[in-house]
Amino acid sequence: MADSFKAADLTVQLCSESLKTTSPESKAFGTVFTDHMLTIEWSEAEGWGAPRIRPFGNLSMHPACSSLHYGIQLFEGLKVYRGEDERLRLFRPMLNMKRMSKSARRVCLPAFDEVELLECIRRLVEIEQDWAFISGPSMHLYVRPTFISTEASLGVKRATRALLYVIICLAGSYFSGGSEGLSLWADPKYIRAAKGGTGDCKLGGNYGGCLAAQYEAKEFGCQQVLWLYGDDHQITEAGTMNIFLHWINEDGVEELATPPLDSLILPGVTRQSILEITRKWGEFAVSERYLTMDQLCSALEQQRVKEMFGSGTACMIRHLSQIVYKGEKLRLPGVNENSQLSTRIIKELEDIQCGHTPSDWTLLV
């Protein structure tokens, strides 16, 4: 029985007709998919099957499939970047593979070799690479590895059958509104995750359970939810983004701060990259620390906040402009000379992602 699939066993069935569209820029994020997908089946009895790249198409599953009933499923998200040298690069993909393994352990899905999966994904991207050149340079390929239980039983138990699959879509801007800052709604009546829970894993249930709060935020004129936790209203995440605060802290020290990884926070790849880049600069304090709304409100009153931004694979880095909290609109510093930090970080990341700066953070396709 195979402990893991092998990329060397990969088989390829190419489609007879391409799905390419002539105007992908007009489509919403995550709605235009490429021609092929990767599928790998697993069963307790036989272990991992051979990886297969096949034409993109619907999946068939039993109505009692436990991923549908009990959320025994997880996913990842990573982008393929197109450089001026016309080469395609994946950005720190092994971090996604390791996070996917962690999520799989949490929902008792089978282990797999992360290196073998990455090579299968690289091969899929290689086959689909023409899709990266049918639109402008701001359009990337977004890779979505997904792992689901296909157990055909209504019993709540460890899966004896599973499917790992990977699809690719075109990805332009995740948020509308160009470069304008996002507005956030913060209300402690909702929480995204609790300590000891699954907030640090990329499980579908973590996202579906956030929709009610997301749509309530829109009723208050906000685009995203700022998730709070605890009686002291700790700042955790914003929508699907990690949060960063560039400020002069309580001790009068310039600091870039982000909440710590304490099982509430998803360990974002962009988050880790920002921490490593800014620590390398050595120009100000860089901290993983708890931040509360009281601390933020005091800092805003005393004009100690330089900038607040969110980070994630889909949005990269997005400036935050306003927080609605306890019925008040807290105005954050606008995009000006004080927001040069996020602009500088974006440039350094993009230079790596697009190959301007040589780095072992990228994997050439």
Condensed to tens digits (0 to 9), the pLDDT of residues 275-306 reads 999 999 999 999 999 999 999 999 999 999 99
Domain that holds residue 135: 7-173
Per-residue pLDDT, 340: 82
Q: Is residue 290 part of a domain?
A: yes
Contact present, 156 and 175 (Cβ < 8 Å) = no
pTM score, whole prediction: 0.93
Per-residue pLDDT, 5: 96
Same-domain check for residues 137 and 235: no
Contact present, 222 and 291 (Cβ < 8 Å) = no
Cα torsion 86, 30, 174, 71: sign? negative
Instruction: Tell me the per-residue pLDDT of 173-198, one tens digit each, with 9 for 90 and over.
Output: 666 555 678 999 999 999 999 999 99
pLDDT (mean) for 132-156: 89
Fill in the amino acid letter for 269: V
Per-residue pLDDT, 337: 57
Same-domain check for residues 51 and 122: yes
Query: Which CATH number goes with the domain that contains 148?
Result: 3.30.470.10
Extended beta strands in the chain, E state: 11-12, 36-43, 47-48, 52-55, 73-75, 78-82, 88-91, 140-149, 161-171, 182-186, 224-229, 234-238, 241-248, 254-258, 285-288, 305-312, 316-325, 328-331, 362-364
Instruction: Tell me the per-residue pLDDT of 326-352, one tens digit each, with 9 for 90 and over.
Output: 999 999 998 765 568 999 999 999 999
Distance in Å from the first CA to the final CA of the chain: 31
Same-domain check for residues 29 and 163: yes
Phi then psi for 299, rounded to 5 degrees? -65, -35
Per-residue pLDDT, 118: 98
Per-residue pLDDT, 25: 60
Q: Is the pLDDT of residue 121 over 60?
A: yes
Residue 91 structure tokens: 């950005």
Of 166-175, 266-275, 288-297, the least confident:
166-175
The whole-angstrom separation of Cα 178 and Cα 181 is 9
The answer for residues whose C-beta is within 8 angstroms of residue 97's C-beta and 6 or more apart is 76, 114, 115, 117, 118
Query: How many distinct structural domains can be found in the chain?
Result: 2
Contact present, 154 and 85 (Cβ < 8 Å) = no
Same-domain check for residues 36 and 107: yes
Of 41-50, 134-143, 319-328, the least confident:
134-143
Per-residue pLDDT, 21: 64
- Indicate the residue among 116, 144, 173 that finishes a domain: 173
Instruction: Tell me the per-residue pLDDT of 233-247, one tens digit each, with 9 for 90 and over.
Output: 999 999 889 999 999
Q: Is residue 1 part of a domain?
A: no
pLDDT (mean) for 13-22: 81
Per-residue pLDDT, 269: 97
Tally of CB atoms within 10 A around 189: 7
Per-residue pLDDT, 164: 98
DSSP state of 137: T
Q: Is residue 360 part of a domain?
A: no
Q: How confident is the model at residue 171 (pLDDT cuts 50, 70, 90)?
A: confident
- Indicate the residue among 117, 152, 173 that finishes a domain: 173
Same-domain check for residues 158 and 296: no
Q: Is residue 87 part of a domain?
A: yes
> Residue 193 burial by CB count (10 A; 0-12/13-18/19+): exposed, middle or buried?
buried
Q: Is the pLDDT of residue 16 over 60?
A: yes
Same-domain check for residues 151 and 120: yes
Per-residue pLDDT, 350: 94
Query: Which CATH number goes with the domain that contains 275?
Result: 3.20.10.10
Q: Is residue 365 part of a domain?
A: no
Same-domain check for residues 105 and 149: yes
